[in-house]
Structures are given as structure tokens and as C-alpha cells.
Structure 1
Amino acid sequence: MPHYSTLLLLTFSIFSSQTLSTSLSTNSTSPIGINYGQVANNLPPPASVLPLLHSLSVTRVKLYDTDSRVLSAFANTGIEFIVGLPDQLVPRLARDPSAASSWVRSSILPHMPATKITAITVGNEVLTGNDTTLIRSLVPAMESVHSALTALGLDGKIMVTTAHSLAVLETSFPPSGGAFRKELVPYLSQLLSFLQKTYSPFLVNAYPYFAYKADPKSVNLNYVLFEPNAGVVDSNSGLRYDNMLHAQVDAVRTAIRKVTPSNAKVEIRVSETGWPSKGDNDEAGATAENAQRYNGNLLRIISQNKGTPAAPAEPLQVYVFALFNENLKPGPASERHYGLFQPDGTPAYNLGTVSGLGLGTTGGKGNSGNVRSNGGTAESPAAQIGLVSSTGYYTSGTRILMPFCLEKLGVLAAVLLLGWYSF
């Protein structure tokens, strides 16, 4: 029986030869990334993941920690990494700047510059959690990490930020009426001031899937899947939205403008979004077909460097959730089926036939196994809907490729697997 990594590398060597006419492009302007979570006991070694990323032409990856195995495996590849500092370290780093310096020296510095680390997320969805100490410590910890980077001359290379659930919003529809929850405004004002001064992005985890799951009778499925639909007109701005993700992002944009100076400039990036290919009986819409349509259409739209209706000239960076199905994630079945790939490297479903895509298959708190906070709102063509946000992870872009048949890849992988096992 061959070593697992040998089989995966062989399979994806064949996979890549059918999809790539050139080697991996390290185009830093690529707007699509992928989340690489590891809450599982059956994932391939990090070194075996590189051919898979090559097959999607991914150049941006988001981790939920600073796993040295992953960061070392991707040294000298040109792939950009966002890495995560876990929640439990946030209060300590807020109290003791020297602890931030020690963390940067031990977790970041050994991998630089061979591994291209471009950002650090301090905690994940902290402001929508229930830990008041953690909430109060968030910005001071971010400042400590930034100061530690500055002392090492890395502040111009590595940004410091944090990711937020949509539950930071009190109002999300219409997008022009977006507003943060009142009790969070003091913390968000402080955080946005930091992001503005350090030229760092505001990260939001946005899942239209949860709007559909919460009220499938009222939410237009085509609207959340980027399929043709009548759209929704914002009565205040007059802008038309043909998909929910853009409406969610513009609601965040409006909320930011309400608590920052008029000349403030803060980029918004979608740090997580995706659709599960399987769920429990009560999880409406969690199917492989819908996951195929959501992620396939998402990748097509984002690859065109489109912005949102409120900011059409600003290409939206998106990190798809997630690279693998992760069998140890807590919560409903959907949480274990967001992956674009199965742990053995085979496609979770076929994206190659979605809207003419030339892509392969695809479908946060990362290694800590934490869950995202509850709450949040999202808009639908019918009305504003109260949602429960995702349960998942902490925890990055892709180019459109030439068309290929993933069913054939799956058959090929199975044949290879059976052939190897027969020996």
C-alpha cells in the first residue's frame, strides 16, 4: 500500500496537467482565497496540499493558527498567508506587550521571509462573543502585536486585523441602512481607527446560506446563489442588488461610514463565505447542488474583479470556506461539509459545469475547535431576516481555469486508489 501523500500527489499531478497550461501564478492581486482549516483527524500532510492549491491556482490561504508544519511546507511557494492568533492569548497580549513580542518572535519570525505571511488575525468573531474581558482586550492586543511587528521592521509587510461575524450589525437591510449594534460601537470605533492608521482591512464572515436556512419560504434561493433573479432595490440609495453577499458587504460598508470620519478609508474583505454540501434534515438548502451553484458562481463573479453596487470600482477580496470537509467540527452536520475537497483530495462536488466555469471542484474556529458566535442579520428579497450565524472556525485567491471534467477525475482517483491497494 503506497504512502498517502504519494497517492495524493500522483492524483493531483494528473489533475493539474488537465487544468493548467502554465505553472501556478503568484498574482498578488487575485481576489479569491481559501480557508485551510484542520479540525479533523484524516487530513493529508500539508506538503501534499500544494498540488491541490495548484489545481485551483490559489495564491492566498487563510489559517486559523500559526501551524509550523503548514507554514514550513509552503515556504518559497509564493502563496500568501493570513495566520491567526487564538482567542485565549488575546487578554495576555493586551496586558503585556512583551508577550506579543515573544509570540511574534516564536510564531511568525522563524517563517519569514521564506513563507509569505501578509496578515495576522487577532482572535475570531470576538465582539459577538460573551467574554467581556476578551472584548475589552481585543484592540489593545492588536496594538501590541502591531508594535511588536514594528520593532522588527515587519509592520509594512504584515497587517494586523480580526474577523467579525455579521452579528456585529444591528441593521443590515436595506444595505444603505446598515448599522452596528449600539453596545459594540465604542469598540468598533476604536478598532476602525486602528485599521485606518495601519492600512489594514476590516474582515467579515458572511454566509447567505444562513438566511436561506432560517426562512427558505421567504428567501429567494436564486438571490442567495448568485443565479438570475429580479433583484432587490435599496429604496434609499436606488442601487439594485442581485445577490445577498454584496448586500451584506454594503451593509457593513454603511455601518463603517457611520462611525468613522468622512475621509476614512477602510477596505472590506470577506474572510469567510461558503455553502455546505450536506446537512441535517432540518438544514434547508444544504445540498451538493446548491454548494456547487453558490461557490461556482461566487468564484466566477469574484474572478472578474467586480466590486459591490456601492463600491463597484473596488474589487472584493473573498476567502472561500473551506478547503476540506472537517470531520471533527462541532455543531450540525453542515459544519462538517463546507469543504471543496474530501480529505483524500477528491472533489466534494463538481464546479466545472456551473455557469460555464472552467474551475475544478470545490465546495471558522480553526485548530482550536471553537465555534462562531450566534446572532446576526441578513437581508432577503422579502424582508429583513433574523439569523443564526455559522458555527465553525477561526481560521485565503483563485484564477478561472480551462474547463475539465471532474467526474473523470473522481473515477481516475478511484481507479488509482484501487490499483495501488491491489498491490
Structure 2
Amino acid sequence: MANNSFISVVTIGLLLISFINISEVESIGVSYGRVGNNLPPANEVIGLYQNFGINGIRLYDTNHDVLQALRGTNIAVIIDVLEPDVTAIAKSDLAAAEWVRDNILPYYQDVNFRYIAVGNELIPGSHPYDISPAMNKLQAALQQVGLDGKIKISTSVSTGVLGNSWPPSKSFFSPSITSNLQPIVSFLSQHGSPLLVNVYPYFSVIESKGKITLDYALFTASDTVFSDNGLDYQNLFDAIVDALYTSLENMEGGRSVNLVVSETGWPSDGGGVATWQNAQTYISHLIDHVKQGTPKKPGEIETYIFSLFDENLKNPPGTENHYGLFTPTKQPKYSLKIN
């Protein structure tokens, strides 16, 4: 058996180098999930972002300890509106004004809010019709305090919104949700905001039952896997993102809407292709790849890796508990590849 202390030192050293690389890629951030009972306090977490040069963070709630810790860091922030708040805001201008008053105004002068995500994967869901009115009411609330245009409003969707995803040039959103998506796309186009999308090639591999190869999903295919409408595809991430772009183009106003990958990652444990090696391979190649963009949309893709920590209370237990770049003790899990 190898000397564990030596492996630990080497791993930490390599990860330090790799996160310097992350800091050089302005488009890379990391999501900060907090579904665990063993995670470090907020000030130590934000210190971890700073120490490793991570320039973006996604927050899934409005925890004020975290917002306080972010003061003066200039870390770009996506802040989520929780589902119950989305429903309340959709029905009330006052609720929108109070949400901005409580969660944005006390911090905006020294916290770099980039996007407000009005819900996470609520389409399809139990209240998809609440998202558009909530977005409009929050936009009006920001305008009232002079912050419209400084903070963009969007929502985060999964690839479950796709009715067809292959080939990318023939993709479209599911007809069952287009009536909910169209006013959202129109809002995004009007205000110059991106659509936030959660992109997981891991799930595509699992659901394909062997039809999608691992090298295609992990960015390790040695050559073009397929060509579509004059564009060559060598990895699944690009195919998914371009399928979403094509689907947007089919919506009124969608051609002017950009995408931000608000979540992507690979679990390091839990069985099957959820292994430490596959997770390291996916994440390290992703960091390099998002600098160049997709065949359809060249250029850097703003991307948030899920997630900072393994979260021991996520359900169902299994792969969901193993997406972290760090253990709850703040130890790095990977030696990420540097080209």
C-alpha cells in the first residue's frame, strides 16, 4: 500500500496548482451547497474560495452569514430565491420589495451580486407559472432602488426542459412547458440576462444504459464522435449546451439569450461510473474546455462546478453525497490535470 501521507501532500500540491488555473479562467465558479451537518462556518468557506482563487459562487439560499463573509471579496455571486419565496413574490409586489430589502440592499455595495436565480429547476414542477411574474416583480423591485441593470435576474433549469436533445441542430424545448418558458425567454431577451442551465453529462450516461460512451462524456474521446449540420462534436457537454441554444432559437427572442452553466459536476462515489477517477477526469477537462466554448457558440462559457463540499444530508443517499471538490474538513479531493 502506498504511503498515504505522501499521497496527501502531492494531491494538495497539485490541486493548489490547478486552482491557480481556475483563477485564471474568469468563467469558472463553484456552487456552495450547505445540505450537511458537518460543514465549516461561512467565514472559513469564503476563505477557501479566496485561498484557491475561485472567482464565482452560487448560493442556494439567502443565508446572511454567507453574505456577510462575502463582503469585500469581489467574488461573483448567483443567489437563489427559494421556491416558497418564488410563489410569494409572484403574488405580491410587497414581497418582492421585502426580499430585495432584506437580502440585497444591506450587502450590494460590497458584495458582487451577478445574478438572482428565481428558483432552481422549477420547470417542470409544481409552480412553473410563478417564475415569470416573480422575475418581473423582482425586476421592478430592483428598479425602485436603482439596481436594475446592475444585477441580472434569471431562473435555473435542468435539461429536463428539452423535448428533443439529439442531434443538437434539431433540438427543441418540451411542448408541455413552452407556455411557461416563453415569457421567461422574452424577459431574458428584454433585459439582457442569460438563462441558467444545469448540465450533467453524468446523468445522460446513466440514463442511456450503455449507449453513451464514457470517453464522450468525460472529454476524453480522441476524435470527432459525430457531425451535425457542419459542426463536429467530440464531447457530450458541448452537445447538450448546443441543444439548449438551438431550443432557445426556436423561442421568440431566444436568439439573443446566452446560457450560463449554473451547475455541472461528476460524483466521486456511489457506484457504477461514479468514481474518484472519473470525477477528476471530468472536472479537470471541463476547466480547460469552457475556455473555448462549443462548436455552435465559441468563446468562454461561464460555468459553476457543483459543488464545493460533499454534503452528507443530501437525499437520496449515494452519489448525491459525493459531488464535492473538498471534504467537509476542507481537504481537497482531487489532483486536477493541468495542460
Q: 1:310 aligns with which of 296, 299, 303?
A: 296
**Identical columns (%):** 39
1:135 positional shift: 1.1
CA RMSD of aligned residues (A): 2.3
Cα gap change, 1:229 to 1:347, in 2 (>3 Å): same
1:178-327 residue pairs with structure 2 within 5 A?
A: 178-235=171-228, 237-261=229-253, 264-279=255-270, 281=271, 284-302=272-290, 305-312=291-298, 314-327=299-312
SS of residue matched to 1:350: coil
Q: 2:329 aligns with which of 336, 339, 344?
A: 344
Query: Are 1:175 and 1:234, in contact at CA under 8 Å, matched by a contact in 2?
Result: no
Tell me which amino acid in the other structure corresponds to 1:142. M
Query: Are 1:15 and 1:55, in contact at CA under 8 Å, matched by a contact in 2?
Result: no
Paired with 1:91 and 1:348, the residues of 2 have a C-alpha distance of 38
Aligned to 2:5: none
Paired with 2:258 and 2:74, the residues of 1 have a C-alpha distance of 23
Paired with 1:67 and 1:254, the residues of 2 have a C-alpha distance of 36
Paired with 1:17 and 1:300, the residues of 2 have a C-alpha distance of 14
Instruction: Give the TM-score, by structure 1 length.
Output: 0.74
Aligned to 1:380: none
SS of residue matched to 2:177: helix
Matched positions, count: 328
1:118-133 residue pairs with structure 2 within 5 A?
A: 118-129=114-125, 131=126
User: 1:156 and 2:149 equivalent?
Assistant: yes
Paired with 1:20 and 1:167, the residues of 2 have a C-alpha distance of 32
Paired with 1:63 and 1:347, the residues of 2 have a C-alpha distance of 20
Paired with 1:91 and 1:148, the residues of 2 have a C-alpha distance of 16
- Unmatched 5+ residue regions in structure 2? 1-8
Cα gap change, 1:18 to 1:319, in 2 (>3 Å): closer
Query: Are 2:185 and 2:253, in contact at CA under 8 Å, matched by a contact in 1?
Result: no
1:21 positional shift: 12
1:56 positional shift: 3.0
Instruction: Give the TM-score, by structure 2 length.
Output: 0.91
Query: Are 1:16 and 1:55, in contact at CA under 8 Å, matched by a contact in 2?
Result: no
1:349 positional shift: 2.7
Aligned to 1:95: 91
1:16 positional shift: 11
1:201 positional shift: 0.5
Aligned to 2:6: none
1:62 positional shift: 0.5
- Higher RCO (CA-CA < 8 Å; seq separation 6+): 1
- Unmatched 5+ residue regions in structure 1? 1-10, 358-423
Query: Are 2:29 and 2:305, in contact at CA under 8 Å, matched by a contact in 1?
Result: yes
Aligned to 2:134: 141
Query: Are 2:18 and 2:335, in contact at CA under 8 Å, matched by a contact in 1?
Result: no
Aligned to 2:3: none
Paired with 1:118 and 1:88, the residues of 2 have a C-alpha distance of 22
1:183 positional shift: 1.5
Paired with 2:191 and 2:177, the residues of 1 have a C-alpha distance of 21
Query: Are 1:19 and 1:55, in contact at CA under 8 Å, matched by a contact in 2?
Result: no
Query: Are 2:268 and 2:275, in contact at CA under 8 Å, matched by a contact in 1?
Result: yes
Tell me which amino acid in the other structure corresponds to 1:244. L
SS of residue matched to 1:111: coil
Q: 2:315 aligns with which of 327, 330, 351?
A: 330
